Structure 1
Amino acid sequence: MRKRHLIRIRRRGLPHPAPGRIVFLLLRKAAAGIASILSLPALKPVVLTITAVFLLLAAVPYGVSLLSKGDADSGGMEERADFQPAELPDTVDLYRTEAERVETVDFEDYVKGVVSGEVPSEFHREALKAQAVAARTYSAARIIKAREGGNPQAHPSAPLCDSTHCQVYRSPEELEELKGEGWMDKGWKKISSAVEATEGQLLYYKGRLVEQALFHSSSGGKTENSEDVFASAYPYLVSVDSPYETQATHRNEKNSFSMEEFSEKIKTAYPQKDFGSVTASSIYVESRSQGGRVDEMKIGSAILSGRQVREALGLPSANFTVEASENTV
């Protein structure tokens, strides 16, 4: 019988997700900073400070504000001369991946469908409200980008889709079929109420709409610098500790592969690479990013990025450790 060599890779939480999936936490009285709500009356913008903080891949830096077109309360206001409000559409064209067609959806109903598709309704109301602001901001930025440069290549007929490529969206009919009529009476009403409570609210950085209002389910304890994930650096997306995820679903997971299977997956994914003989002693992490993700990994005589390894093995994260011995890795 052929001896089985196992490759065991331990994931330390989801890294930087596919677009639209970076950590989003709402903290009460957080020491990291203060978020602001800006409302727009008929003549000029005003800002109302509140004791709440959004954590979006990073501790929110000074200058990030939560802005709205609603009426402002009468206290603690100041003018923002640099504010450039984004116009929200009444409807959004949405590419439905399974049906392979474009559907026009009321914009705020779309936000409700995204919150329902991305997070459980059991979440605290404030968390649902935070998710709504993130989803609305992300959508608005993608729509504006599409107007200026065209729709994404993945779905050229619409600026947004209903999958994790953008944000997961579920219609009320789909949710009722998926979760049941009882959920619609409670879960849908709870999410709808949270979305309606934040209607029109968007995230801005130094007066401009946040381009990357991303979120994910787990960071593995530390978020990532945007420049280590994307081609561009965003000053509000920097690496910070995220100690609030000790019970996160994906914090500690393991994947095992036989040596033959591991080698085959890697070599098939990157046939242009010369790996030579792949043995346990030739499989190790060479470097990591500031956020802890694998930057470079040695496999045989070749070097791959953490993202390449992740994609080749079908892992949801590049934040993993590799333990090698004579028979297992």
Structure 2
Amino acid sequence: MKKPFIFILLLSFSVVIVSVVSSLLLYSDIDETKESVKNKIKKTQEITYEKIDKDDPIINVYDVDENKIKKMNMEEYLYGVLSSEMPSTFDEEALKAQAVAARTYVIYKIENNIKSGHKGADICTNSSHCQAYTSYENLKNIKGKDWMDSDYVKVKKAIDETRGQILTYNDKAILPLYFSTSSGKTENSEDVFSTKYPYLVSVDSPYEKQSPKYITTYSIEKSKFIKYIKNLYPQLSVSLSQLDNQVNIESRTEGGCVKIIRIGNIKLSGIQIRKILNLNSANFTIDYSGNEMKFTIKGYGHGVGMSQWGAQGMAQKGYKYYDILFHYFKDTNIKDIY
């Protein structure tokens, strides 16, 4: 060989280049795998669920404001529910997921003959008891013509395109609980409501950070904190000067909420503290500064079932409404009943 030095130099340079490129590709694959494991949620192949064509059922709705029972077409009732329960600015697939959940909730009530608080009706318009509802006329007055011409059409489309569809477990309508914002993970039903449902289990909810209530704070004077607790639990024994050391979070749920918190000589649940202080959720940490306690809260709502902001995040990532529902309600199916 006439120029062995040049050949060896070129060979060495090639080996270095190959090694660098291989390393970059390897680390890229590792990073991609990490991201995939962290965020990937299973997608279902394109499915059409419209299989049955029956008349819409007529349901009995107790109107809390008017204190009377009204007969309503189910789908028209749902227009008023979806307009009230989820922002109309949300993605179409998130709205569809909410539509199926809202419809399922009514059927669940009917199938289980749950009429308590409804004056004998199937469902009521009290949002703290059943689902929020706003009539067409009230929506026009509250939202205005522009909203009715654009967003209301979008809401109707989400209802119409999922007409008759409900979520089932063992071929029966589920209890499709939903809430605003999770802390990145939902809760097991038994950790919040004492009752265990096989489809209401803790799952990852990675797309929450866009929610305006993903993280909130609440500050209170230590003396007021003690007063609020003592009003409900007179047996409480704590020292104001030693409070920092006398309040300890002892355990958390799988979803991250406070399970047990010790305050002096008593133990309370995170849910009890949430109610006492009116916090956005039971997932919180506590910091102390001088005579103040600062609560940092993650999420908004009870945390069981479908996170609405999580559903919005999934929809923005390209997931269909059934992907969203199957993710938040484990081992369920969608059934078209009319």
**Is contact 1:225–1:237 with CA below 8 Å preserved after alignment?**
yes
Residue type of the partner of 1:136? R
Higher helix share: 2
TM-score by length of 1: 0.70
Counterpart AA for 1:321 = T
Q: Percent identity?
A: 41
2:190 aligned to which of 210, 227, 230: 227
Shift of 1:180: 0.9
Matches within 5 A, 1:64-103: 68-70=50-52, 90-103=57-70
- Give the number of equivalent residue pairs: 252
Per the alignment, residue 174 of structure 2 pairs with 211
Is the contact between residue 107 and residue 173 of structure 2 (CA under 8 Å) also seen in structure 1? no
Aligned to 1:257: 220
Contact kept? 1:277, 1:301, Cα under 8 Å: no
Post-superposition shift, 1:89? 6.8
Corresponding residue SS for 1:102: strand
- Gaps spanning 5+ residues in structure 1: where? 1-29, 36-49, 53-65, 72-86
Say which SS state the counterpart of residue 288 (structure 2) adopts: coil
- For the residues of structure 1 that align with 2:96 and 2:135, how far apart are their CA atoms? 19
Higher RCO structure (Cα 8 Å, ≥6 apart): 1
Q: 2:72 aligns with which of 91, 105, 124?
A: 105
Q: Which runs of 5 or more residues in structure 2 are unaligned? A: 1-38, 294-338
Runs of 4+ in 1 over 6 A off after TM superposition: none
Q: Is the 1:88–1:140 Cα contact (8 Å) retained in structure 2?
A: no
Cα distance in 1 for residues equivalent to 2:236 and 2:40: 50
Deviation digits for residues 100-139 of structure 1, max 9, x if unmatched?
A: 3322221111111111101122222222111111111111
Match of 1:324 among 288, 308, 313: 288
Show the 5 A alignment for 1:169-248.
169-206=133-170, 208-248=171-211
How big is the alpha-carbon RMSD for the aligned residues of Structure 1 and Structure 2? Answer: 2.4
Structure 2 residue 89 is matched with structure 1 residue 122: yes
Post-superposition offset of 1:191: 0.8
Checking the alignment, whether the CA contact within 8 Å between 1:122 and 1:187 is kept in structure 2 is yes
Amino acid at match of 2:161: A
CA distance, structure 2, for counterparts of residue 261 and residue 98 of structure 1: 36
Alpha-carbon spacing, 1:269–1:100, altered in 2? closer, same or farther (3 Å): farther
Query: 1:238 Cα shift?
Result: 1.4
Partner secondary structure for residue 229 of structure 1: helix
Q: TM-score, normalising length from structure 2?
A: 0.68
Q: Structure 1 residue 316: deviation in Å?
A: 2.5
269 and 176 in structure 1: CA distance in 2 versus 1, 3 angstrom threshold: farther
Tell which structure's C-alpha radius of gyration is larger. Answer: 2
Give deviations 1:269-307, integer Å, cap 9, x for gaps. 334x43444523212311111100010111222111111
Instruction: Report what 2:254 is aligned to.
Output: 290
C-alpha deviation, 1:324, in angstroms: 2.7
- Counterpart in 1 of 2:46? 51
